Structure 1
């Protein structure tokens, strides 16, 4: 940042120095020419009124004047130019009376220098048709490099000052970034509770700090969920594995006391539970990784009808389905979502389960209602957490994996929908509501 600032400042200062040099030189040259022209004009008045004389006494500080005839003779001159050859014989073009020129020559006091010469044509003088040349020595400022060196030194000092200021400003600007970097290096996966101090300035750096803190908070929450999920998964897998191992050890230790068929059936049940948990974990892993399949148009009424007919249930299932309610998505995943909802309702129902399909406000609505104990309002979000089973569920049936409703919600979210527990307006029991965008609705 400092280098870029120095380069930009150097370009600006360089252009400014060049323009300044040209303006100063042009102005000085113009002033010298005007001063010499005034002296030539005063001399022209004198030689028009007075008698002819070979010596001219200038009236201003221009003390080098020559009067040159058309044939190149110096017919009159100031004392400083007496008996000197004409410094120049340049004449103005036709129709003009004045000519300006810069001449470098050796004049008293025997030093070579450059002079600004203003020539004025006079036709009716006592000397006839002549040219009056007024000569002004140019100051050293115009010919030496003093002004350029002075401006260069000044610009270099100013550039150094600007570079130092840019360095300090960049350092102050990036100091909060360095503090954030140092703080972030101390944050580890084992301690994600630390947060960055938010500056009170409210500028972009404060917004960056707030964003980092929000990211750390989400990361901490995700890591905590991951740890809890790993702990719950290990517990859920350990239980059937322990039971399976115990039954096998008993059968081996006392083969005669255990009925082999009974033991195999019990072991098979534990293996089925293990398989169910593992399949649910694999499905959750696929949903968490964001795996997408090619969507297709699915009629919810047909999907519910086919799944209810295919799936055995312990209770009566009542259907209230509006035809033509279609959504776009994965049939396999939506079948799994519906199966989980039906299994949950069938597990907690007393006599019957109701399934309703309709549409409202551009959304397809699927409701699964049971007549069981229902879900307390304070527990309606917790039931969708992984490995969560309410006390009523644990007391009635321990066969669930605790992942069914969590998987169902993840599938709903993957299809840009919602799954939630609502009040049961028909009486007691739980009411789970799925809302998905209709296939005919525009993307929003």
Structure 2
């Protein structure tokens, strides 16, 4: 069987004529993330793809691993040791070449090389060029530039002759967030077991956030970032929706909940400013005493990650994480939700065995498996309940595998008779992946 992959994280993918797995299960190709000074976290529906004892350890937000880029830089090592490790791992990548990509659409040589640079950027905090000298803050790419400058200066001064500037490997030290031995072990797992890069660093860069991820949680894809822009457009069309609570169904790492809560906080501040300036108060508006976003997931592991990510990245108190299946934990919000975003499992079960190894062997199958046939099991439940849960004019956006599946979801919303303006929306790579609609007035 031809092996399939998820939507490409970093390059476009075509849905027409390919399987839903090829359109829905993404190669873990994240572009360089935002500034490492920012933080965030997120979770998804959960069934482990393979036994992993670490899953049992994640029972609360306090158990969630800290992303590498946020760890304290407590390890001091010789720069030479770090450079030797980098040279060795790049040599191993050259030996692997594009074998993973050829086998199942996994990462090629160029992506693996970029991952090494990103890992070093996350790990390096500072350097000094003398044992008793001051520490100079930097990331890896800045340090690499300093090394090249020092090497050029040394060549100009006569190489190893008396009075020449010392080579960077002669006495330079680096301050790291993980020791070289740990980096070596992580990259052994990356190349031998094909563990997702984001799992190894416990970090996924998504929008302006750094989300904590690990086994039991789906790595958030860049395509999904577009759902926040879709919600923003819906709020432009109906600003009063910002005053109502929203929901993220199947929140996983909490990425959508965090992004949505941040958006709603900005919109609510803007509307509060208008009211303070004397503008007419919007109908039904009141001081917000409940969470802006309710984040729902059945998985205890996902709930822990989502809570940790919300605490780190969302406005205080803006996200409430609740465990349960889809609409069940939100019965008290019936008819009150201003909007719903959801990225549910949608890969047809028959295509699950065709995923690239990073996905099929490591990511939670419960966050991917859409059920038999066209993979609509979760999508149908969400569409069936949405009309009862939303306010009049309320908004829903659903991520799908794209192609025919997206059009079937749009038809489900149309057939319900309670939605209008149902449409398929392209993702950032031009794939018709999302379905959106507005609740008709009752």
Q: TM-score, normalised by structure 1?
A: 0.16
* Greater helix proportion: 1
Q: TM-score, normalised by structure 2?
A: 0.16
Relative CO higher for 1 or 2, CA cutoff 8 Å, sep ≥ 6? 2
Task: Tell me which structure has the larger Cα radius of gyration.
Answer: 1
